[in-house]
């Protein structure tokens, strides 16, 4: 048996396509999507995905080629996750919060043959394509216009969703039982309900991930009737890979202790064969005591874990932001650390020193916080742009000349929460 080669008859991979086919067969008349006034059953969704896959093939998309999409969570995005693999192609989903330069690099690197673009991201994509070298053929663009998107996706839209969710009765009207959201969504949701002195009529299970949720937000959210699960995943590759596996005996603890426990995660989910948390220096597994820190050995990251800033569920590398700051001719030194933020959890805080031009004070006057932020905004995705800039005569350093980031972290922490900004 060990010499039996893998064939369709004895080895069938488990993929989302099998899930869709089963759902269409068993639950064909049940709702699969509700989006504004649009709704589809599983039978409709299956048929639409088959039609889209057929269109992709007729456009010349071959197995193994890359189809990209830049769109928010709309029905077209959902259907592409099935239709593209149905056609044998590879789906490359691009974050709508990225800047044109990064989108252009991703499209070229993936060698995308086709790009589906949401209407409100059209200008971003056109700018990204304009950055292609003349020798590189850009992907064919397909504009998504049939989904009911009323405005571009941003934080204010998330707030509108929260208001709609409770005010118009989404939960009541559609009997919502499960939802997902980053800790920042939990914060908005709990604040909205608390302000309106509203509690849920029936429990709603909510999965949160993207950043460790503060125990206070977890406690407040659950006090309003939500049942919160906490996980950690790899957006680009593996979904939820570890989670907080709740134990029944923990229900006996006070609310604050329950929230503290739920803020942890690290137990592998059922779909993972092996996960470990290791010491970043030695590679030895850390103690399973709920307090020892380490790195999850699942992915390669471009920065040390303590230098990764998690803002609103987005992981951003301080090194990437610093590299942009160093391109400014006025800046001599730059270091970026996390500053606490009530809304986003953390935001980038940049400490910089300026170059001295023979005693000329013009640099000091010109390099204001607003100027440096705008400089970064033109060169980085908006979620990576520093929300705070501190100009210092000189950054603290060790005897070997290394910037003391731990001191800067303490300074940023002492500043308290940054000004509340939802943009």
| Tens digit of each residue's pLDDT (9 = 90 or more) over 57-102 | 999 999 999 999 999 989 999 999 999 999 999 999 998 889 999 9
φ, ψ (nearest 5 deg) of residue 47: -65, -45
Cα–Cα distance for residue pair 319/152, rounded to 1 Å: 29
Q: Angle 278-283-287 (CA atoms, 0-180°, nearest 5)?
A: 40
> Do residues 314 and 210 lie in contact, with contact meaning Cβ atoms separated by under 8 Å?
yes
pLDDT of 208 reads 87
What average pLDDT does the structure give for the chain?
A: 82
Compute how many other C-beta atoms are within 10 angstroms of the C-beta atom of residue 312: 23
> Do residues 231 and 242 lie in contact, with contact meaning Cβ atoms separated by under 8 Å?
yes
pLDDT of 319 reads 83
| Tens digit of each residue's pLDDT (9 = 90 or more) over 12-29 | 777 889 999 999 999 999
| Tens digit of each residue's pLDDT (9 = 90 or more) over 383-397 | 899 999 999 988 998
pLDDT of 217 reads 78
Q: Please determine, for residue 350, whether its predicted confidence score (pLDDT) is greater than 60.
A: yes
Compute how many other C-beta atoms are within 10 angstroms of the C-beta atom of residue 148: 10
Cα–Cα distance for residue pair 53/88, rounded to 1 Å: 9
As given in the structure block, the two tokens for residue 28 are 């064909």
As given in the structure block, the two tokens for residue 16 are 């989302």
> Do residues 338 and 412 lie in contact, with contact meaning Cβ atoms separated by under 8 Å?
yes
Cα–Cα distance for residue pair 307/316, rounded to 1 Å: 9
Q: In terms of pLDDT, which residue wins out, 160 or 229?
A: 229
Share of the chain above pLDDT 90, in %: 39
Q: Which residues pair with 207 in a beta bridge?
A: 180, 229
Q: Please determine, for residue 343, whether its predicted confidence score (pLDDT) is greater than 90.
A: no
Query: Which range (79-93, 182-196, 321-335, 358-372) has the least confidence?
Result: 358-372
Cα–Cα distance for residue pair 229/312, rounded to 1 Å: 17
| Tens digit of each residue's pLDDT (9 = 90 or more) over 244-266 | 888 999 989 988 788 778 877 76
- 3-state secondary structure (DSSP) of residue 397: strand
Name all domains of the chain by residue range, CATH numbers in brackets: 16-144 (3.40.50.980), 155-264 (3.40.50.980), 306-414 (3.30.300.30)
Q: Which residues pair with 232 in a beta bridge?
A: 242
The predicted model scores a pTM of 0.66
> Do residues 246 and 283 lie in contact, with contact meaning Cβ atoms separated by under 8 Å?
no
pLDDT of 103 reads 95
């Amino acid at each position: 048996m060990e010499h039996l080669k893998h064939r369709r008859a004895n080895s069938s991979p488990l993929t989302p396509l099998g899930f869709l086919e089963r759902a269409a067969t068993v639950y064909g008349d049940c709702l699969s999507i509700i989006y504004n006034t649009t709704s589809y059953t599983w039978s409709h969704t299956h048929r639409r995905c088959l039609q889209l896959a057929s269109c992709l093939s007729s456009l010349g998309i071959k197995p193994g080629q890359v189809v990209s999409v830049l769109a928010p969570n709309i029905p077209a995005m959902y259907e592409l996750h099935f239709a593209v693999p149905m056609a044998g192609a590879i789906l490359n989903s691009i974050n709508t919060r990225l800047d044109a330069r990064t989108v252009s690099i991703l499209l070229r690197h993936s060698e995308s043959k086709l790009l589906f673009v949401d209407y409100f991201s059209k200008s971003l994509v056109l700018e990204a394509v304009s950055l292609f070298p003349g020798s590189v053929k850009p992907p064919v663009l397909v504009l998504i216009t049939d989904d009911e998107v009323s405005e571009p996706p941003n934080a204010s839209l998330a707030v509108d969703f929260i208001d709609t969710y409770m005010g118009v009765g989404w939960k009541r009207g559609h009997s919502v039982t499960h939802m997902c959201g980053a800790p920042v969504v939990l914060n908005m949701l709990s604040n909205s309900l608390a302000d309106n002195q509203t509690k849920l009529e029936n429990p709603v299970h909510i999965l949160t991930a993207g950043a460790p949720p503060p125990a206070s937000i977890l406690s407040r959210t659950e006090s309003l009737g939500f049942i919160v699960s906490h996980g950690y995943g790899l957006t680009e590759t593996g979904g939820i890979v570890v989670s907080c596996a709740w134990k029944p005996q923990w229900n006996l603890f006070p609310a604050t202790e329950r929230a503290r426990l739920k803020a942890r995660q690290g137990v592998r989910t059922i779909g993972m064969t092996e996960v470990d948390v290791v010491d970043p220096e030695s590679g030895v597994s850390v103690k399973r005591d709920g307090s020892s820190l380490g790195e999850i050995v699942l992915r390669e990251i471009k920065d040390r874990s303590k230098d990764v800033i998690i803002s609103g569920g987005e992981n951003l590398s301080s090194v990437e932001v610093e590299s942009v700051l160093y391109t400014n001719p006025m800046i001599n030194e730059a270091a970026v650390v996390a500053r606490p933020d009530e809304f986003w959890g953390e935001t980038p805080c940049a400490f910089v020193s300026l170059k001295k031009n023979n005693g000329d004070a013009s640099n000091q006057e010109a390099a204001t916080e607003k100027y440096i932020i705008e400089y970064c905004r033109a060169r980085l995705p908006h979620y990576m742009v520093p929300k705070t800039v501190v100009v210092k005569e000189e950054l603290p350093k060790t005897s070997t000349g290394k910037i003391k980031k731990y001191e800067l972290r303490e300074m940023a922490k002492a500043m308290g929460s940054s000004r509340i900004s939802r943009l």
